[in-house]
Amino acid sequence: MRTTPARRLAAVAAVAGSAVIALTAPAFAHVTVQPGAATQGGYTAVAFRVPDESDTASTTKIEVSLPLDHPLSSVRTMPLPGWTATLEKTKLDKPVKTESGEITEAVSKITWTADATGKVGPGQFQEFKVSLGPLPTDADSMTFKALQTYDNGQVVRWIDEAKDGQPEPAHPAPVLTLAKAAAGVGGHQMGGASAVTASQDGKTSDTAAAKSSDSTARTLGVVGIVVGVAGAALGVAGLRRKSSSATS
């Protein structure tokens, strides 16, 4: 049986649409830090975004490890209905001097545990919010390794670190990128956070959100163009068939 041009175009459109969706879907399946950037030396509020990847099981526990090579003196969790947050501290091998004094221990892990009402079900996601600071001034990123536990006993280890020139690992650890503060920027501490830093973090968040929105819009635009071309081709093919029938 011969394949008509309309059928060929429809097949191409379907494949192209599937490819676009396939390229964008994996980004939503990872445990990530939102927003993904902050300012060196400042305080910030972030959310660990955790999607449930199982078709049948629910997420009941999240463990996030904080790097001790750059210990944070201030770590606070935001209350989340249905979940209990526990902070685990570790004694530092070498005390660290901060504006508030010398610290000999720091939070090394945060564990969120769900009750019967807090589980993250299939097709859902949850955000676990934390305030952190002061962020290191001698690092361009911080990696937070995470463990995700399901109610069927499965544990997904989001601990792989991405390497330059290498494909993204299957289970990458969440990474917070740190940008240098603007020269001469300073600010008084207000409620444990710098007013100037908070403003910069807000701009970073807005920029990240704008980029994400622009990326989504472009993706939807490509899908719309592909579908539109396929629809036009089918319409032309239909008119040709009608014309051919009329003349015969």
Task: Looking at the structure, tell me whether residues 77 and 16 fall in a common domain.
Answer: no
- Please name the residues in contact with 136: beta carbons below 8 A apart, sequence gap of 6 or more: 40, 41, 70, 142, 178
Task: Looking at the structure, tell me whether residues 59 and 152 fall in a common domain.
Answer: yes
Task: Looking at the structure, tell me whether residues 25 and 117 fall in a common domain.
Answer: no
Task: Looking at the structure, tell me whether residues 65 and 161 fall in a common domain.
Answer: yes
Task: Looking at the structure, tell me whether residues 226 and 237 fall in a common domain.
Answer: yes
3-state secondary structure of 208: helix
Q: Which of 12, 222, 47, 247 is nearest to 128 (CA)?
A: 47
Residue 143 lies in a domain: yes
Residue 127 C-alpha from the chain's centroid: 10
Residue 132 phi/psi, 5-degree rounding, is -135, 150
Residue 117 phi/psi, 5-degree rounding, is -100, -10
Strands 146-150 and 59-65, how do they pair?
antiparallel
Task: Looking at the structure, tell me whether residues 157 and 84 fall in a common domain.
Answer: yes
Task: Looking at the structure, tell me whether residues 64 and 140 fall in a common domain.
Answer: yes
pLDDT in tens, 135-184: 999 999 999 999 999 999 999 999 999 888 889 899 999 999 999 988 76
Residue 41 lies in a domain: yes
pLDDT in tens, 51-68: 999 999 999 999 999 999
The last residue of a domain, from among 134, 152, 181? 181
Residue 239 lies in a domain: yes
37, 179 Cβ separation under 8 angstroms? yes
Residue 230 lies in a domain: yes
Residue 142 lies in a domain: yes
The last residue of a domain, from among 135, 154, 181? 181
Residue 187 lies in a domain: no
By the 10 Å C-beta count (0-12 exposed, 13-18 middle, 19+ buried), 145 is classed as buried
Tens-of-pLDDT digits for all 248 residues of the chain?
A: 555 555 555 554 444 444 443 333 344 579 999 999 999 999 999 999 999 999 999 999 999 999 999 999 999 999 999 999 999 999 999 888 877 778 899 999 999 999 999 999 999 999 999 999 999 999 999 999 999 999 999 999 999 998 888 898 999 999 999 999 887 654 333 333 333 333 334 444 444 444 444 444 454 454 454 445 455 554 545 545 555 554 54
pTM: 0.65
The last residue of a domain, from among 155, 181, 207? 181
pLDDT reported for residue 8: 57
Task: Looking at the structure, tell me whether residues 104 and 219 fall in a common domain.
Answer: no
What CATH code is carried by the domain that includes residue 98? 2.60.40.2230
State the Cα–Cα distance between residues 181 and 188, nearest whole angstrom.
15
Residue 188 lies in a domain: no
Task: Looking at the structure, tell me whether residues 37 and 107 fall in a common domain.
Answer: yes
CB-facing half-sphere around the CA of 243: CA atoms within 13 A: 6
Tell me how many domains the chain contains. Answer: 2
Task: Looking at the structure, tell me whether residues 95 and 24 fall in a common domain.
Answer: no
Range of the domain at 206: 1-29+193-248
Task: Looking at the structure, tell me whether residues 123 and 3 fall in a common domain.
Answer: no
Other CB atoms within 10 A of residue 68 CB: 16
Structure tokens at 147: 């463990």
Residue 137 lies in a domain: yes
Beta strands, E only, the chain: 32-34, 37-39, 44-51, 59-65, 74-77, 83-98, 101-114, 125-133, 141-143, 146-150, 155-158, 175-179, 189-190, 193-194
